[in-house]
Amino acid sequence: MATPNHLSVLVVDDSRVSRMLIKSLILARFPQWSITEASTGEEALALAKAQLFDYCTMDINMPGLPGTEAAEQLLALQPTLRLALFSANIQETQQARAARLGVQFVAKPVTEKSVAQALAYFQEQA
Lowest mean pLDDT among 27-31, 96-100, 112-116: 96-100
- The confidence score (pLDDT) of residue 114 equals 96
Alpha carbons 94 and 115: distance in angstroms, whole number: 18
Confidence of residue 77 (pLDDT cuts 50, 70, 90): very high
Q: Helices 41-50 and 67-77, interaxial angle, to 10°? A: 10
Alpha carbons 4 and 122: distance in angstroms, whole number: 12
Write the pLDDT tens digit of every residue in 15-47: 999 999 999 999 999 999 999 999 999 999 999
CATH 3.40.50.2300 applies to domain 8-123: yes
Note whether 38 and 71 are within 8 A (CB): no
- The confidence score (pLDDT) of residue 91 equals 76
Q: Stretch 84-111: mean pLDDT, rounded?
A: 89
- The confidence score (pLDDT) of residue 6 equals 83
- The confidence score (pLDDT) of residue 18 equals 97
Note the pTM of the prediction, 2 decimals.
0.92
Alpha carbons 74 and 88: distance in angstroms, whole number: 21
- The confidence score (pLDDT) of residue 124 equals 87
